Amino acid sequence: MSRKLRAMRDARERRRLEGVEPRYPRELPALRRTLIIIDYDFGRVEHRIDLYRTPRIDCYRAVADGVEWKRRVGWSKVLLDTSAVVAK
């Protein structure tokens, strides 16, 4: 490796080590999101989907009307599945 490239890498590593630590997000609440779907086609039917925290930041534990629906699911998958059910 050339001296110039080595010096650039060393300088970048030195800046990284001397820099400020990144801020980590605060502890997320247990209940992160709630979806309420109200269907008026045959009277008023209301469904509630609660999305709870999981160890992964990008996934939820989904509970639909008090019954566990999916143990680990992403936000886009929740929207996709609920839109498919509502459209029928």
Question: Is pLDDT of 57 > 90?
Answer: no
H/E element holding 17?
helix 3-18
- Tens-place pLDDT, residues 2-12: 899 999 999 99
Can you give the residue ranges of every domain in the chain?
3-87
Residue 1: which H helix or E strand, with range? none
Q: What's the rounded Cα separation, in Å, for the pair 10 and 43?
A: 69
More confident residue, 42 or 87: 42
